[in-house]
């Protein structure tokens, strides 16, 4: 992507300068960029909120809202950061959300991607009443950029939790080069997609935990149990198996429905981020962090009136579902 406000491609030096500026902003060493931005941007004290309302709805309704917000140009699909802002539970001031965008750009750089390929600065006109308009800054982001914004959002917001699951699924699709139009997933398809995401992110969580000092297989089992205890109200893996009537050899993740898998995916991704971001060191500290994240996810579920994960019915073994979905569809099977 290019910086469309100037119609000039952003080179690596410009990208590095932008990253350096963002780091100063995030560490408090510099004010938000509006205070020293181009004249086409609004000053912080005159920034007016967009005519968007904070999104409030079910996860399925939010998923549809994300798809409805996608736009297209000659370079493909993109989202407007200002339209993502209310969908992610931000709606008052652009400056607050821009900090999230800045963090996402840094994450993009740290992942080895070119920031300009996923984040493009633009200028748009907004109404200020009486038929008058004024320019404000916006950022157009790719699907991967939107995913990084969700990952760097406020985890206390239910919209952010929903979005992280959504973009994790959609970004994985893009990585698999699945460019065909996607129908709405049914429960079985969603389970398989989320289970695959759990496999991927448990590996990433394991790497982050190892860097924090969790080295032995037994230590990692204890570490995982701390996350389960936080999310499941004190139940460890064996306790979850017992409550759900599963055998001692059953993989509990293989018997979770999509809602429960989504909660555990959120737990795993946020714990990985916390371990890396805070540079947590030591097994005990890693265990405590995993428990804390699990407990916060549980509280988020409780706050929105959701069912506690231990109360959710166990689902059919995911391996059976995979085999069934892999079978070719025939007229007789429909």
For residue 2, is it within any domain? Answer: no
Tens of pLDDT, residues 27-77? 444 433 333 332 233 333 333 434 444 455 565 666 677 778 888 887 788
Q: Can you give the pTM of this predicted structure?
A: 0.53
User: Hey, which of 47-56, 69-78, 154-163, 168-177 has the most confident mean pLDDT?
Assistant: 69-78
Q: Is 181 part of a structural domain of the chain?
A: no
Domain-located, residue 4: no
Domain interval for residue 148: 12-174
Asked whether residue 159 falls in the same domain as residue 206, the answer is no
Tokens representing 198?
A: 């759990």
Kindly report the length of the chain.
334
Please tell me whether residues 49 and 104 are part of one structural domain.
yes
Separation of alpha carbons 222 and 208, rounded Å = 15
**CA count, 13 A, side-chain hemisphere, 67:** 13
Token pair belonging to 200? 């991927």
Last residue of a domain, one of 174, 206, 222: 174
Residue 7 inside a domain? The answer is no
* φ, ψ of residue 273 in degrees (nearest 5): -60, -40
Whether 12 and 19 have beta carbons less than 8 Å apart is answered as no
Statement to judge: residues 124 and 79 lie in one domain: yes
Q: Is residue 334 part of a domain?
A: no
Do 126 and 151 fall within a single domain?
yes
- What is the number of domains present in the chain? 2
Binned at pLDDT 50, 70 and 90, residue 312 comes out as very high
Identify the pLDDT of residue 220.
95
So what's the pLDDT on residue 132? 82
Q: Identify whether 151 is part of a domain.
A: yes
Residue 171 has a pLDDT of: 56
Look at residue 182 and tell me if it is in a domain. no
Judge if 55 and 192 occupy the same domain. Answer: no
φ, ψ of residue 43 to 5 degrees: the values are -70, 155
Mean pLDDT of 258-279: 92
Inform me whether the pLDDT recorded for 176 exceeds 70. Answer: no
Same domain, 125 and 21: yes
Task: Give the tokens for residue 246.
Answer: 């599963």
Give the three-class secondary structure for 317: coil
pLDDT in tens, 204-249: 999 999 999 999 999 999 999 999 999 999 999 999 999 999 999 9
Q: Does the structure show a pLDDT above 50 at 291?
A: yes
230, containing H or E segment: helix 217-231
């Amino acid at each position: 992507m290019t910086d469309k406000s100037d119609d000039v491609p952003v080179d690596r030096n410009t990208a590095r300068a932008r990253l350096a500026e963002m780091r100063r902003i995030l560490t408090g060493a510099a004010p938000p960029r509006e205070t020293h931005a181009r004249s086409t941007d609004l000053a912080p004290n005159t920034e007016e909120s967009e005519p968007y309302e904070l999104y409030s709805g079910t996860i399925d309704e939010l998923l549809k809202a994300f798809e409805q917000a996608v736009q297209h140009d000659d370079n493909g699909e993109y989202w407007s950061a200002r339209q993502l802002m209310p969908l992610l539970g931000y709606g008052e001031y652009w400056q607050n959300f821009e900090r999230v965008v800045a963090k996402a750009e840094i994450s993009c750089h740290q992942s080895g991607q070119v920031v300009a390929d996923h984040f493009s600065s633009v200028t748009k006109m907004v109404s200020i009443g009486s038929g008058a308009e004024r320019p404000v800054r916006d950022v157009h982001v790719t699907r991967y950029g939107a995913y990084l914004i969700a990952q760097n959002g406020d985890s206390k917001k239910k919209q952010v939790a929903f979005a992280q699951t959504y973009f994790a699924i959609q970004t994985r699709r893009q990585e698999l080069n699945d460019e065909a139009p996607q129908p709405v997933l049914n429960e079985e398809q969603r389970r398989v997609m989320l289970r695959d995401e759990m496999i991927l992110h448990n590996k990433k969580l394991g790497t982050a935990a190892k860097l924090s000092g969790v080295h032995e297989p037994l230590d990692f089992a204890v570490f995982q149990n701390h996350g389960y205890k936080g999310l499941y109200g004190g139940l460890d893996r064996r306790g979850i198996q017992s409550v759900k009537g599963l055998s001692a050899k059953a993989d509990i993740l293989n018997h979770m429905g999509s809602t429960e898998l989504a909660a555990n995916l959120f737990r795993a991704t946020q714990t990985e981020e916390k371990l890396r971001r805070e540079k947590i060191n030591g097994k005990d500290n890693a265990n405590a962090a995993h428990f804390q994240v699990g407990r916060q996810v549980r509280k988020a579920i409780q706050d929105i009136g959701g069912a506690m994960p231990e109360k959710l019915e166990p689902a059919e073994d995911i391996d059976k579902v995979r085999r069934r979905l892999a079978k070719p569809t025939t007229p007789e099977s429909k």
